[in-house]
Amino acid sequence: MEIIAVPAFADNYLWLVHDEESGETAVVDPGDAAPVLAEANKRGWAISQIWNTHWHPDHTGGNLAIKDATGAEISGTGSENIAGRDVSLSEGDEVRLGSHVGRVIEVPGHTLGHIALIFDEDRVAFVGDTLFAMGCGRLFEGTPEQMYRSLQRLTALPSETQLYCAHEYTLANARFAIHADPGNSDIAARLAKVDRHRGRGEMTVPTTVAQELATNPFVRARDAEEFARLRRDKDSFRS
């Protein structure tokens, strides 16, 4: 499984996922069709599938144009209005790319119907806007209890699992993390590293379960009440 980031808008990552053996290509959360189609064309990849984790336009805005250009099948959470959806996904369903099998888990919080795609054998998870490197998504529709449980589900995956989130928010998240947990040396070290990477214009994702367990205050929260307090603090935090 080859995974390529396609930057879009100010800070989105749209993920192209390619299986060399079968020649199949999927795109995860294509908010903008043009850069996705250009990157796939440059690599000689034919997009046959679109996978959406939730309904927000910066994740689904390119669905119809990509479908028109390629005939790709669109799969997405069944409880939300996904543009052009052909296949509804919910807990326990699967997506396939060649021999790679991803299972669907429901991770509400950012939106009520948000899903994640877990490729257990590949140790890869596409998590949309539920979990970010050193952070998590805002609670636009769900409750703190829902989001806390969703984060706990994701960080219960094997420690080496790579978590592909949809935004480059790591530096801002790291600055909040050191504010929230100033005595955590792992956070301090990661903040310094992230600062260097972003200073050079480099990506800081994907992250891993192990990194998040060590440095993400939201997944390290003791319970949903502490999580809710941290989320309120982050919403008003100015680094």
Q: Please indicate whether residue 100 is annotated as part of the active site.
A: no
Catalytic residue, chosen from 110, 122, 179, 233, is 110
Question: Who contacts 56 (Cβ-Cβ below 8 Å, separation ≥6)?
Answer: 111, 129
Would you say 62 and 31 are in contact if contact means Cβ atoms under 8 Å apart? Answer: yes
Sequence-ordered list of residues with C-beta below 8 angstroms from that of 10, at least 6 positions apart, any chain: none
Catalytic residue among 18, 32, 56, 100: 56
**Is 56 in the active site?**
yes
Q: Let me know if 167 is a catalytic residue.
A: yes
Among candidate residues 59, 68, 181, 223, the one labeled active-site is: 59
Which candidate in 167, 195, 223, 233 is catalytic?
167
d(CA 163, CA 154) in angstroms, rounded, equals 9
How many of the other CB atoms lie within 10 Å of CB of 204?
Answer: 20
Out of 29, 32, 54, 100, which one is annotated catalytic? 54
DSSP 78: T
**DSSP assigned state of 221:** -
Cα–Cα dist 229/234, whole Å: 9
Candidate list 58, 181, 233, 235, residue with the active-site label: 58
Q: Which residues are catalytic?
A: 54, 56, 58-59, 110, 129, 167
